[in-house]
Amino acid sequence: MSGTAGNPLRDPRDRRLPRVPDPCALVVFGVTGDLARKKLIPAVYDLGNRGLLPPGFVLLGFARRDWDVGEFEALAREAAQQHARTEFREDVWRRIADSLCFLPGAFDDDAAFDALAAKLIELEGTHGIKGNAAFYLSIPPNAFPVVLKQMARTRMADNNERGGWRRVVVEKPFGHDQKSARELNALVDEVFTPNDVFRIDHYLGKETVQNLLALRFANTLFEPIWNSHYVDSVQITMAEDVGIGGRAAFYDSAGAGRDVLQNHLLQLLALTAMEEPVSFDAEAIRTEKLKVLNAISLPRDMERGAIRGQYEQGWLAGQRVPGYLDEKDVPKSSLTETYASVRFGIETRRWAGVPFYLRTGKRLPRRVTEIAVVFTKAPHLPFDATDTVELGQNQLVVRVQPDEGVTLRFGSKVPGSAMEVRDVSMDFLYGASFTESSPEAYERLILDVLLGDQTLFPRNEEVDASWRVIDPLEEFWTGRPPEKYRAGEWGPRAADEMLEREGRVWRRP
């Protein structure tokens, strides 16, 4: 079916306009949870508001709640009103509300899954979905196996059963280590074909992350210096000013390493360091990312090059906040890290000798995610030392959140009669340069799932390679008490010392 379905004014030759998916159903398991309420339902509303949902679209919720469709609609409406990116409009909501369905049931309830399979067949006649369905597993990882086996039993995952496509979306974390990730990948690939599995990492849906590829490969200005001849180091930071919220059960078993480092930060590293793909399609991009992940080397001295920390009580935004061990449901003896920073190398001709410093943490001074490429100093400065005392190293900083954009820092003469050189910054802000605001990450990724575009989704080989990097770190950290840092600080002192030993400092976002 043409991508112009439902929009007769769209010119199919104009690739600048986003495509509209075929008629389909989006089945969300665990639809009453936080992820669905705060991200998935609002993203569906925003797609509808932008005219990117097909006329034949159904949002089908599945959860334990003994609800009817009216109760589900009330939850969905509230979620859209509170969390949608675009303005809430009654006419848009009415169109979406007319396509809402809800089925109650437990994941081990055969009758509930039989009813779900029958409902999808019924929707072919009532909504014209033509057998197309995407299944979003917005559920704890330990529930994946039972749901996948139910889908295999009812043949809901079979593309040939109803003559349409069937896809599955799996949220991170993808396993707890390399062994469990391989077992999960094997199970998913046994139920669905590999091309129908979408392993979602919402960071890859952020506009600025995708712009990193445009910045590198669409501009002659940057690519010639994107290598060890001109780059001194790379710093990738994902800082959060919040604590663990109500996620103690999950977070205490995962920690910063498994929760963020294994997926978000390694994916950002791969996009930063990858070679130019032969084309901008899913297979070509993922091939180059996988080469980077396989070339990552661990610190020679893990004691000094792999730092983990745990926040203590401190002050943030003028308020005293508790330490990690005082958070609700966290064991008092927990050794789980809330901060991790690691020095990686990439053993390729392009990046040999360039350190990649990755850090992530909770209860840090501010919420920010950025990629900072720090360039080498000019080999010769024909100025007096006193003239350049405030001159640092050139930097290109890609800000992923919250102020999406790019900053270029370079040296410039200070106005006046003296030759004084000082660092200045040149900023590009998405909000100031484009009339259209950036779509929310889940909005873009859900649309890609419905279109069948896997460009922004890691494949199982990438997940496996990421765990190859993280497993030795987790093994080294096991049983070792994390360094302490106060809430509101940029991490433990040992993380600063890691860079100071090499004559570098962390960039202050």
Domain count, the chain: 2
Residue 198 belongs to some domain of the structure:
no
CB contact at 8 A, 259 and 175? no
Q: Which of 171, 186, 220 is the last residue of a domain?
A: 171
Please give the angle made by the CA atoms of 436, 442 and 444, to the nearest 5 degrees: 50
168 strand-pairing partners: 135, 197
Final residue of a structural domain among 171, 192, 215 = 171
Q: Tell me: do 102 and 212 sit in the same domain.
A: no
Residues 117 and 213 in one domain: no
Domain end, chosen from 122, 155, 171, is at 171
pLDDT at 13: 38
Is residue 264 flagged as an active site residue?
yes
What is the extent of the structural domain holding 287? Answer: 204-500
Residue 217: CATH number of its domain: 3.30.360.10
The predicted pLDDT at position 4 comes to 35
Q: What DSSP state is assigned to residue 25? A: E
pLDDT of residue 500: 96
Same domain, 226 and 123: no
Cα dihedral 4, 6, 8, 14 sign: negative
- In a shared domain, residues 281 and 429: yes
Tokens encoding 117: 């399979």
Report the distance separating Cα 306 and Cα 292, nearest Å: 20
Residue 194 within any structural domain of the chain: no
Are 441 and 323 contained in the same domain? yes
Asked if residue 92 and residue 229 are part of one domain, the reply reads: no
Let me know whether 154 and 283 are in one domain: no
In a domain, 506, yes or no: no
Kindly report each contact of residues 189-196 with a partner whose C-beta sits within 8 Å and lies 24 or more positions away, as own/partner. Answer: 189/460, 190/152, 191/148, 191/149, 191/151, 191/152, 191/157, 192/157, 192/166, 192/167, 192/168, 193/159, 194/459, 194/460, 195/454, 196/157, 196/159, 196/165, 196/166, 196/167, 196/168
Same domain, yes or no: 230 and 357: yes
CATH code of 114's domain: 3.40.50.720
Alpha-carbon distances of 78 from 27, 71, 73, 97, rounded to whole Å: 19, 11, 8, 12
- E strand map for 105-185: 133-137, 166-171
> 119 and 243: one domain?
no
* 195 domain residue, yes or no: no
Asked if 218 and 115 sit in the same domain, the reply is no
- Considering the domain boundaries, does residue 238 fall inside one? yes
Rounded Cα–Cα distance for residues 455 and 283 (Å): 7
243 assigned to some structural domain: yes
Q: What is the pTM of this model?
A: 0.88
Query: Which residue positions in the chain have pLDDT lower than 70?
Result: 1-18, 380, 382-391, 431, 433-438
pLDDT the model gives residue 435: 60
SS3 422: strand
Q: What is the per-residue pLDDT for 17? A: 56
Residue 507 within a domain = no
Q: What's the confidence (pLDDT) of residue 162?
A: 78
141 and 222 part of one domain: no
Q: Please, are residues 10 and 17 in contact by the beta-carbon 8 Å criterion?
A: yes
CB burial string 202-216: b at 16+ within 10 A, e below: bbbbbbbbbbbbebb
Under a CB-based contact definition with an 8 Å cutoff, are residues 172 and 200 in contact? yes
Catalytic residue among 127, 176, 202, 264: 264
Q: Which tokens hold the place of 471? A: 């497993």
Contact 490, 219 (CB under 8 A): no
Q: At what angle do helices 282-295 and 266-273 cross, to 10 degrees?
A: 100
Tell me if 301 is assigned to some domain: yes
Listed residue (378, 370, 446) closest to 406, CA to CA: 370
355 and 433 in a single domain? The answer is yes
